[in-house]
Structure 1
Amino acid sequence: MTKPALEPAVTDVINGTVITARTPVLLQRALHPDADPAGTPVFGDATWRLAAALPDRHTSGQALTWVRYPLPLRHSCKLYAFALINVVDKAPRLPNARTGVPGIKTLTADLGYLHPFTVWLVERGIRRFGDVGQSDLDSYYNHVTDKTGVSTSWKRKAFIAVQRLHAYRSFLPEHDRLPEGPIWGGASAAELANQPAVRKTENSTLRIQPEVMQKLLSAALLVTDTIAADLLPVAQRILAMRALAHQVSAREQRPRFQGAERNTFSLVHLRRLLCAVTTAGLALPGRRIGDQIVLDHVGFATAGWFDREFLHRNVAGREIIAASGIPIEPGLFTAAEFTQVNDRTWRDGDADAPTVLELLRHVTTACFLVIAYLSGLRTGEALNLRRGCISRDPRLGMVFLSGQQMKVAGARQDRSPATIPWVVTEQVADAVTVLEAIAPGPMLFPIEAIGTRDWIVDGAVSSRRAGSLGRDVPAFMRWFDSAVAPMIGHPAIGTDAGGKIVAPRLRRTLAWHIVRRPGGTVAGATQYGHVHTRIIQGYAGRADAGFLDEITFEEFLLRAETLHEDYQRLRHGEHVSGPAADAYRARVQAGERFAGLAITSPAQAATALTNPDLQIHHGALLTCVYRPTTAACRDDVADGPVWSRCRLTCANAARTDRDIAQLRKHADNLRTDLAIPGIPAPLRDRIRDRVAEHERALTAHETSRPDATPESAQ
């Protein structure tokens, strides 16, 4: 917290609060549980550091530096900022705002776009917001729209900043209120900037190619399940000694002394560490040379936070270690046994302490990929997960993940079993278990590199930054493709045509797989259909989670693409049979009316999906022309076909040539099953009935062709 600056001898009141230099800035904002109330800013500070009011720990601290604002309007800007922060009941709300009260990140960004307005006003000789007239606002509009070298997005945000200042006028002193009435004719910022509203454009996040995502997830699951288990015992011992080393070391980082001064510092650190190791009952790492066990200098230097050369060259240091009497255990900090995958171990040769720490970074990245992808969490929600976030309900057979939801308000932000937002799979729980075995504190993804002082100390209250994943995920892919895949015969992950794989793309890709491949497999074990059920039962099924919007868009895109393909096939002579054949042809031909339809919001996509002409669903052996009144599978929950209750004789069933090819193949497989010796009589009868049912459908399809002959049915 900076020293309070001198404030003008003026008493202002904001929302009932008398403003003085000592007035707390975060008066009405909930503080993060890790925040120190004594360190929060007061009004007179030259810089307001607002990180204490951030709901998450994966974002760098938000700060307002007032010296950059022009002096004549600086106090006015601070009053406005105070109102933005502390007016939480009946706060003014701009059109299209996602929340009733602007978040800390929103308001700091907004004030950044207000800064050009304050500079422009002072240059025109205006010293108070209350002196601004409608003509001044019109001039500023022209100034912004005529500005070159900036994007339309920048212009839109510049207009929003002024509109928000106007919206808060009633909470400001009279001398700091913009003129009454609507400004700029009441037009939206997007209209003023000639830019479509961001929320009304299509989701531009690129999906990861299916074949790349399949291999990436397979690799991540292999790491969290197998490779992590090989590394964790050694890693935990290394990190335990590293934690002791940071506890006993001086607060400053390793000094850059040279010569005698550096040796003196290292000897002091060595004595302190050996004392702590003795108290903790730990051993020192060793290695075998012939029949002798000697100190593992590399391992001890890595875990003990030493200069490696010091242990090699300093005689006094070696004597201190020998005199300590601490046992030396060979292989303590070396991973030497590796699990076989496809009859081959995933690594050749031992992994020393530096290598283990390097591999741990890849392990934590794999854990993030598994957790984020198989749950549908946002990036920040995953990075803010904490120890103990997994719980289970044996009666329901469900695994729950408790965390802090982003973009929600009120009690839903609380992290407690009562507000568990996610239902996840065992693979997610396993990844969390791995992180809990590594993390030094409550955060599962601590900030900074593994084993550093910041990771151990600051990682207790601050999480890894989202930007670091932009480096770590590609690094994980390169490591796996070069070091692991060739060893075990796993296919290389490769590169994605959409470019770098960043965290937000995982969420969009999961939505695609759930819609497009509900029966597909994830790494041969986890079914996308199972993932769909789990996440829809939990957080993703809530209206404000946003994930159902992703699902809705993907379902609409799939339905539209399928309708187009069906229309083209019908035009080129594809035959359709079955009770719903006429309805199928009518709906496909009616699909032409959707040419050029623009879907600009999730609500529009959801509405379009209810159109009867889009109710065509392709299954494994038939096509469902869904109509609820005649559906054999209908229940009170589903708004479409329930494939597990499908009946081949349903009135909604139609069969295309594509379905018939699959039906014929399935009938052949059933005949093969009938040839199995010793098959139980009830099962044999059931298979025979199913074969006969298939044969009737095949015959009906062929004999109903317009050009059918008696021979064509054979």
Structure 2
Amino acid sequence: MHWTKFPDALVLPLKTVCLALLDHPVPAQHAVRTGAKLLAVQTISHTTHHLRVLAEWMAHRGLTRLGELTDRHLDAYRTHVLTLDCPVIRKRQLLNTVVLVHAYRDLLPQPCRLATSAPWGGASGDNLVKVPRAPRVNKTPRIAAETMEALLAWSLRMLEDIGPDIADAWRTYQQLQQSSHPSQARFVGLPIRQRLAKFLADAAREGTALPGKRRPDGVLALDEQTLLRLMGLGFSYHRLSSARQREMVAESGLPLTESYALSSAINGTIDGRPWRDRPITPQELPDLVRFLTAAGFVIVCYLSGLRPGEALNLRRGCCDTDPETGELLLVGRRGKGQGRTPLVDAHLADDPWARPWVVVQPVHDAIALLEQLTPHPLIFPPAYGRPTLRTAQTHTRTTYYIAQDIGGFIDWINHNFVTADGGVPIPADPTKRLHVSRFRRTLAHFIVRRPRGLIAAALQYGHLATKVTLSYAGDADTGWMDDLVIERLEFVLEQVGQDRALLDEGEHVSGPATEEYKTRIAQSAAFAGRVVTGVRNSERLLTHADPNVHHGDGMTCVWTKETAACRKAKLAMGLPDNDAPDESECRSTCVNLVYTDRDIQQLRQRLHILTLHADDPLAPQPLRDRAAAQVATLSTTVERHEQASQQSPKEE
């Protein structure tokens, strides 16, 4: 927020307004209209742009306090806004900002309260500009499956196979820059000329080339700065201090090389081969560190479901483990929603603003590696190495630059590696470039479309809500849950449409819940479409449209809570039950099961594999017996389905 651009007399009042927006949930009368709870930090940043227009208008008329704005002034300001040469949506935002400031009047000191009972008689900016408000739709495009899966796979490869070599080279580079590398101990206490003589003698004895760099005219010249670092001289030395020292280098007769290596060890492999055939040089190291950071961001942001700003603001030591459940946690600060408010019981956490996310092991591994790259408190500082104008103590890397880093990482992978068929490892997304806000939208789309994805999402965020409530006295990330509701609604409608189409084409269904399956699909398939303008509408529509049919691995569950065998098994073991099937506890005798032709095809493939295991003479006898028992069970299911299919009349 650049307050220097505001009129001086209005800086303090408007700072007070913005502080109230940051610290307090949206007042009820405004929340009912907009559906907002607690404004995102980025939203407040945008609000300052609208406030600046109001401030400049007030300053032009000699108004120095918000408390001076009466209904007459607001009518004049509305006329001013409506005559501006800007899009209608901008005019609406400018007027709605005034309404927002008034909504916070009870939380502001008297000089900051508008002198009106209701701006423009309670009308909203939509009505004032006389343009109907379009339904709010999430227009963020998802990343194509081929692109996202390849990007995540190569990010994990970067973390596991390539990253350790880059981190080791970066550690060596930092030690050389800070004169703390073991190889520099022999130069301690020597003047620069003696250091140079000793370095040249050692290089001649070991057959080592001197560091060089290419000049603009293409000539390879001595890299004096790197040479000085190798001799243990700090950042205050930029070049050799005398002509005699340059003569010593020339007289040594040592060759120059652009590829002066920091380390000769390349331990990482890709498909059984070293990921590169030459050591890492200082010239390419900054880019490699940037690519490693980009890969780490992809892993952390995508696999956790964090918003980009929440991921970028993670700090050193953010990894944690729940002492009761053993779940891996990522502790950070939410950027939006009720979870951004301080904890009611602040003693439950060292940081009252901290909120946890449940994550998987690669996220912890990525952060552990990123913490090796910088001593700064932020996991994603604005730059590595020497300090910049934007210090890492107060700023983090921006979403713009991290998106640039990800693009560079993809280009580097595609340039240096190829697939077995000669294609690029990470195909381009057909929609547009990869900006980081697309990760969260893509994850919500993919998670509910995976086998048992709906169940996994429900369990994952059920755990998270319980943990946050009991252990941290906070709230779950409701914004992420909203994304899941929308994606689940789309998925359910797609699945019902596919099931109905296959039934019409003659797909056979067998099992105890066959009639219930057909009834639910027929009832749900009658849905003809409806405009959805909010998440709550989506939830209500999902309740009516969802037939509660879950396609699993070789079977389909027509979920009925009271008769579910998996639920009874969990209750018998003293485990809590969920209102969703648990395939790990599925029983073949459950009356909720049906088998479609698609399921039987999967069972036939599994039968073939199990038969090979049962007949494997080298396998231990208990494993062979177990495979044989599974073959018998699955064969019975397949035979019953085929017999029922032959006996059932074919629809014309």
- TM-score (structure 2 length as normaliser): 0.78
Structure 2 counterparts to residues 309-388 of structure 1, below 5 A: 310-311=239-240, 314-316=243-245, 333-388=262-317
Residue in 1 that maps onto 2:440: 507
Counterpart residue identity of residue 587, structure 2? R
**CA 1:175 to 1:575, structure 2 compared with 1: closer, same or farther past 3 Å?**
closer
Structure 2 counterparts to residues 125-274 of structure 1, below 5 A: 132-145=69-82, 147-152=84-89, 154-168=90-104, 178-193=114-129, 201-243=136-178
Say whether the 8 Å CA contact 2:209–2:260 is kept in structure 1.
Answer: no
Residue in 2 that maps onto 1:600: 533
Write the distance in 1 (CA, Å) between the matches of 2:104 and 2:631.
76
Superposed CA offset, 1:279-328 (max 9, x none): xx9x98999567444654644467767799934985347879x9xxxxxx
Say whether the 8 Å CA contact 2:603–2:634 is kept in structure 1.
Answer: no
Q: Please tell me whether residue 95 in structure 1 is matched to residue 21 in structure 2.
A: no
Calculate percent identity across the aligned residue pairs: 28
Write the distance in 2 (CA, Å) between the matches of 1:168 and 1:392.
39
Q: Please tell me whether residue 578 in structure 1 is matched to residue 511 in structure 2.
A: yes
Write the distance in 1 (CA, Å) between the matches of 2:417 and 2:49.
47
**CA 1:302 to 1:504, structure 2 compared with 1: closer, same or farther past 3 Å?**
farther
Residue in 2 that maps onto 1:409: 341
**CA 1:510 to 1:700, structure 2 compared with 1: closer, same or farther past 3 Å?**
same
**CA 1:417 to 1:398, structure 2 compared with 1: closer, same or farther past 3 Å?**
farther
Query: How far 1:668 sits from its partner (Å)?
Result: 4.1
Write the distance in 2 (CA, Å) between the matches of 1:553 and 1:415.
33
**CA 1:317 to 1:606, structure 2 compared with 1: closer, same or farther past 3 Å?**
farther
Write the distance in 2 (CA, Å) between the matches of 1:244 and 1:601.
59
Say whether the 8 Å CA contact 1:76–1:176 is kept in structure 2.
Answer: no
Write the distance in 2 (CA, Å) between the matches of 1:563 and 1:625.
13
**CA 1:113 to 1:697, structure 2 compared with 1: closer, same or farther past 3 Å?**
same
Q: 1:694 aligns with which of 627, 637, 651?
A: 637
Of 654-663 and 412-421, the range deviating more from structure 2: 412-421
* Unpaired stretches in structure 1, ≥5 consecutive residues: 1-61, 246-269, 323-329, 521-527, 709-714
Write the distance in 2 (CA, Å) between the matches of 1:500 and 1:286.
52
- How many aligned residue pairs are there? 595
Write the distance in 2 (CA, Å) between the matches of 1:276 and 1:405.
53
* Unpaired stretches in structure 2, ≥5 consecutive residues: 213-222, 252-258, 469-474, 571-575
Say whether the 8 Å CA contact 1:374–1:424 is kept in structure 2.
Answer: yes
Of 309-318 and 211-220, the range deviating more from structure 2: 309-318
Say whether the 8 Å CA contact 2:70–2:115 is kept in structure 1.
Answer: yes
Say whether the 8 Å CA contact 1:93–1:101 is kept in structure 2.
Answer: no
Q: 1:432 aligns with which of 360, 363, 367?
A: 367
Superposed CA offset, 1:30-73 (max 9, x none): xxxxxxxxxxxxxxxxxxxxxxxxxxxxxxxx23125x43xxxx
Residue in 2 that maps onto 1:451: 385
**CA 1:359 to 1:317, structure 2 compared with 1: closer, same or farther past 3 Å?**
same
**CA 1:150 to 1:447, structure 2 compared with 1: closer, same or farther past 3 Å?**
same
Query: How far 1:118 sits from its partner (Å)?
Result: 4.5
Structure 2 counterparts to residues 268-667 of structure 1, below 5 A: 291-293=206-208, 296=211, 298=223, 299-300=226-227, 310-311=239-240, 314-316=243-245, 333-392=262-321, 396-407=325-336, 408-411=340-343, 416=350, 421-448=356-383, 450-454=384-388, 458-485=391-418, 492-518=425-451, 537-538=463-464, 542-611=475-544, 613-634=546-567, 636-667=576-607
**CA 1:543 to 1:102, structure 2 compared with 1: closer, same or farther past 3 Å?**
closer
**SS where residue 402 of structure 1 aligns?**
strand
**CA 1:395 to 1:595, structure 2 compared with 1: closer, same or farther past 3 Å?**
same
Superposed CA offset, 1:132-165 (max 9, x none): 553553454354345443241x122201222134
Write the distance in 2 (CA, Å) between the matches of 1:493 and 1:184.
54
Of 342-351 and 170-179, the range deviating more from structure 2: 170-179
Superposed CA offset, 1:417-463 (max 9, x none): 89560222221121112111111322221113x223228x9224422
Of 290-299 and 429-438, the range deviating more from structure 2: 290-299
**CA 1:655 to 1:146, structure 2 compared with 1: closer, same or farther past 3 Å?**
farther
**SS where residue 400 of structure 1 aligns?**
strand
Say whether the 8 Å CA contact 2:508–2:597 is kept in structure 1.
Answer: yes
Superposed CA offset, 1:590-647 (max 9, x none): 2244222233333333333333752122222222222222222236532222222223
Residue in 1 that maps onto 2:573: none
**CA 1:288 to 1:603, structure 2 compared with 1: closer, same or farther past 3 Å?**
farther
Write the distance in 1 (CA, Å) between the matches of 2:607 and 2:111.
84
Query: How far 1:588 sits from its partner (Å)?
Result: 1.9
- TM-score (structure 1 length as normaliser): 0.71
